[in-house]
Amino acid sequence: MLNYECYKATNDRKVDTESSCRIVLRNKNLGWDEYKFLLKTMVSSGIGEETYCPKNVIMGREENPSLIDSLEEMDDVFFDTLDNLFAKSGISPQEIDILVVNVSLLSPVPSLTARIINRYKMKSDIKAFNLSGMGCSASLIAIDLVRQQFKIHKEAFAIVVSTESFGANWYCGKDKSMMLSNCLFRSGGCSMLFTNNPDFKHRALFKLTSLVRTHFGSNDEAYECCIQVEDDQGYPGFRLTKKLTKAAAQAFIINLRVLLPKILPLWELIQYAVVYHRWSKENSPILEGVGEGLNLKSGVDHFCIHPGGRAVIDGVGKSLGLTEYDLEPARMTLHRFGNTSAGGLWYVLGYMEAKKRLKKGDRVFMISFGAGFKCNNCVWQVMRDLEDANVWKDCMDKYPPKTLTNPFTEKYGWINDERLSFLRIEDIDFS
């Protein structure tokens, strides 16, 4: 990897407690039970006051998004990150041999890769790939595709663009399992530049050493735990069920069985054999003890965990026996930027770099989960000391904050007061 650029939206798209409440109140389908649920979710989400929403949601058009809204949302991410990527790397758009774009919830014609090729007037023999429906783990799927292409195309340059279309997929109904996505997902994305040209080794930030993909879609519960559907009233959205944690654990364990022998030293593999035997037993605890008896830090130095939500981060941390120092980059990314889907991993990596944690020779364990259900993990070797503040530049001195407590509790906690349940929502001034 020669470079990566994360997207940061403009300040007029920030959503804090006040603006979040205004957006929620526009949904006239909600009642007291739904407001209580949203309050509890917002408070426990781990998301802070400076995340970003799509323009059409900020402007109150979430119920009737247009195709133009969706394409403009993509253009903002694509062209901001790619302009910076080309400028900083010194590589021109016409030198790109492979282009992979992953956006799960938008697949227009012409394709999104065609949109980029047209904008930058890329060469006619470029190999272009569009990945849709891959969910939050799509970045590593795209990188694996690049890795396979590099076996055929020598001394090539490749770009991966990872983002998500949220504006057109904002849920306007009242199904609690589908309301979760509005609370967790936020605008963001990243563009990355790769090469297999050895002449550029001295300029590389990272080298990919291992990548393992696991697809658990054959399991019905796993397949349905994270799925795009319509509710009983016909409102489309994204359903996240209580089975998601279990599916993530099962896919994670399957993935680690393949990945850990590739990254752990010999003396740890003996311990691994013992743990593997325990995993094979029936009724083993979900997401507990996966890393028990293993010294993962004998094989990796940093843990780049998908910031999918507090439960995801807590679960991975507990399963691998990680410290709060290890989990800090994922927690702070969730707090500052929210769950930006497939782009989220790169904000976590950016936090590590901005904090000057990444030194030459270090190994970064990247962990991702996504709809399907998929678990895709990889390990990067740091090629030189890194200290670019990147997308964190304007707020690095504020992190980590003294507390991650959401102010929504203090201001709107009274919603949970049963003595006020006789009130009607329309009779209350939330300002």
Write down the catalytic residue from 27, 84, 215, 255: 215
Active-site annotation holds for 215: yes
Sequence-distant (6+) residues with CB within 8 A of 174 are 27, 29, 30, 31, 34, 231, 233
Q: Report which of 417, 305, 408 is spatially closest to residue 366, judged by C-alpha positions.
A: 305
Residue with tokens 């939500």: 309
Q: Is 153 a catalytic residue?
A: no
| Alpha-helix runs per DSSP H in 198-323 | 220-224, 244-263, 266-279, 310-320
Known catalytic membership, residue 339: yes
Give me 186's structure tokens.
């936020």
CA 207 to chain centre: 21
By C-alpha distance, which of 121, 131, 130, 129 is closest to 95? 121
For residue 111 the two structure tokens come to: 């394709």
- Paired tokens of 28: 């006239």
**Chain centroid to CA 178:** 18
Catalytic residue among 136, 183, 225, 375: 136
Q: Are 250 and 219 in contact (CB under 8 A)?
A: yes
Active site residue 277: no
Candidates 339, 377, 390, 406; catalytic one: 339
Rounded alpha-carbon distances, angstroms, from residue 247 to 106, 222, 254? 25, 5, 11
| Catalytic hit among 21, 169, 225, 302 | 302
Q: Give dist(CA 344, CA 312) in Å, integer.
A: 13
Catalytic residue among 306, 375, 376, 390: 306
Query: Looking at the annotation, which residues are catalytic?
Result: 136, 215, 302, 306, 335, 339
